[in-house]
Chains A and B, each alone.
Chain A
């Protein structure tokens, strides 16, 4: 069946370190892929998305590439800042017309100065 597996956290990094948060999915079709960010006490904000194979989503220095061959959508940032501390969720819309996503378990990122 369809599923999303996200790298477990928490992740603690020093400022300017490189970030990778892994996300893989299992799907029979061609899903749309998303990364959301949730700051403490707030709702979810869309960080980036990709809707077809080899698409690269990018925003605020974060990037993720839709890898169909490895069914992955890993989130990366070259140099994290303290303000990036948040919970990051990988999400997959298995039916691109439904607008409904399945979420990974979330990864808490803490960036220390």
Chain B
């Protein structure tokens, strides 16, 4: 089946630094990838839709300058959390779409 990977699986960073999270579709090409955020014991909140070769579409309330998304190729999308703060600590999950969504294992970000 289709496999999506994320790297890193967990990261701890200091407040004010930036963190990049990679999402890769390993065995298929995905023109569209999605980035979600999940708070503890809560559902997934869609942050943005990432299309290869074009600008990401952000959901209402998501700061595009803080959460930079780049979809450089058909198998790679990156999410960069800029100037991270403790409130950005969360579980970030990506998915790649080819008729249906395939989810990555998630990245746990802790900002100290």
Interface set of A (CB-CB < 8 Å, partner B): 32, 34, 36, 41-46, 49, 89, 93, 98-106, 108
CB distance A99 to B43 under 8 Å? no
Does B18 make an interface contact (CB < 8 A)?
no
Contact present for A43 and B106 (CB under 8 Å): yes
Q: Would A99 and B44 count as touching, CB distance under 8 A?
A: no
Q: Determine the main DSSP class of A at the interface with B.
A: strand
A44-B103, A45-B103 in contact; A89/B43 too (CB < 8 A)? yes
Report the separation of the CA atoms of residues A32 and B101 in the bound assembly, to the nearest whole angstrom: 11
**Distance between Cα atoms of A34 and B44 in the complex (Å):** 14
In the complex with contacts A43-B103, A105-B43, A99-B93 CB distance below 8 A: no
Given the known interface contacts A32-B100, A42-B106, A43-B106, the answer about A100 and B34 at a Cβ–Cβ threshold of 8 Å is: yes
